[in-house]
Amino acid sequence: MRYRVLRPPYCYRWAVLIAVLAGTVSLIVSLCQPGAEGSPIRPSPPPAVAAGPTAADPAPDLLRHTANTGKYVALTFDDGPDPAFTPRILDVLAKNNAVATFCMIGTRVRAHPELVRSVLAHGMRLCDHTVNHDEDLARRTPQRITAEIEGCWSDLQVAADADVAVGYFRAPGGAWSQPMREAAARAGMKPLAWSVDPRDWATPGTQQIAAAVRQNVQPGSVILFHDGGGDRAQTVEALGILLPWLAGQGYRFDFPG
């Protein structure tokens, strides 16, 4: 006598198959969990590399010293060029065999391109001081920061009527931010600060300006002066006192570095 084999309905067969598959998947996942005894630990993916100079080429530290070590000072002049005072300062520098770095504003450069060429002809160096001298630039967007820095660089090239080196960038008012440092680094410029500020911008008097430098200068100092942004007659007169005094103290004149 033949007995008929009873088979479960198809729906039950599929349920068993799904259960087996689910168990298999669960086992595989548990074996791949990190830290499980005897299980492989998957390597973490490599960290993302940030674009720009923060990753491969970090923005350098602010420059507050001369390029050469020893008894050197670096003179710097901000906010020009100015037709009344930049030529007078160049004359004083020439008489004392001194060099300096001029941190220029783009709008002033456009108004007086001949002074950019005169500064270069005297053997001085240029520094980018933004297009508009916005002292709140550190709070602006990265696009605005880049436009201000690269815009001034372009103004200097046009004014010089040549491919001219602009080795430094100085933040308006000395108010720095990391995006500003990075934008300057991308443009190939070093961030220039200072170590001696005689506050000549406040016109405290010729003797006060000279005294502040005498009291604070030391080998490697970067001194902040201004050839623009107001009446700089006191600065011109103070330079006439200070440059012979510095030379008499054994100082030589250098660029920031």
Q: Which of 65, 78, 112, 227 is catalytic?
A: 78
Q: What residues form DSSP beta bridges with 78?
A: 103, 226
Q: How many CA atoms, within 13 angstroms, populate the side-chain half-sphere of residue 214?
A: 15
CA distance 123 to 102: 11
Is residue 78 annotated as part of the catalytic site, yes or no?
Answer: yes
CA distance to 71, 122, 126, 162, per residue, from 95 (Å): 20, 11, 20, 27
Q: How far apart are CA 253 and CA 74, in angstroms?
A: 6
What's the rounded Cα separation, in Å, for the pair 226 and 197?
A: 10
197 classed as catalytic: no
Catalytic residue among 155, 226, 227, 254: 226
Whole-number Å distance between alpha carbons of 102 and 161: 17
Any idea which residues carry the catalytic annotation? 78, 226
